[in-house]
Amino acid sequence: MHEMGIALEIHRVCREAVAGRGPGRIEKVRVAVGELSAIEPDLLRFAWEAVTRETTDEGAALEIEWHRTEQVCPSCGPVPDRAPGTWLRLCPSCGGPLELRGGTELEVLDLVFAAEDDPPGPGGDEPGEESA
């Protein structure tokens, strides 16, 4: 169970990315996790809850973008519909050897940071405009 260490590191990377933005909390983080990354998504979510508990970012959502490994035949292309956890030795069409592509991802993609601005002064700031 090394997901705890990974979750701590994800939180550290996120906090580093918002350093200098002033007070606020991380609301959502997206991470890419690959089939061959040796990470169990449920354990990572559990660990994320644990490492963010009693921090500013408590309750931040961890969204996992799951990346499957593709088995690819150099002649016929990707093998369709491989059942999870099973691997084909040879291409079902031409019998040639297959290559593996992807699935080793373990990357912090992006986050949503909710910055708390200073309270509006008595002179009245305009309320913030919604923008993309």
- For residue 86, the Cα-to-chain-centroid distance in whole angstroms is 24
Our CB check for another protein shows the closer of 17 and 76 to be 17
Cβ at position 53, least distance to another protein in Å: 19
CB of 49 to another protein, least distance (A): 16
Read off the tokens for 126.
């305009």
Residue 13 or 77 with smaller CB distance to another protein: 13
| Contact criterion met (CB below 8 Å) for 63 and 27 | no
55 or 88: CB nearest another protein: 88
- Cβ of residue 74: shortest distance to another protein, in angstroms? 11
Residue type, 55: T
Distances (CA, A) of 54 to 8, 32, 69, 75, 124: 14, 25, 36, 54, 34
Cα–Cα distances (Å) from 15 to 10, 24, 101, 119, 129, in that order, read 9, 11, 31, 23, 26
Nearer to another protein, 80 or 128 (CB): 128
- Binding positions for another protein, rule: CB under 8 A: 1-2, 5-6, 9-10, 12-14, 17-18, 21, 24, 27, 31, 35-39, 69, 85-89, 97-100, 104, 106-117, 119-120, 125, 127-132
User: What is the nearest approach in angstroms of another protein to the Cβ of residue 128?
Assistant: 3
- Least Å distance, CB 100 to another protein, is 7
- Under 8 Å CB-to-CB from 104, ≥6 apart: which residues? 34, 36, 37
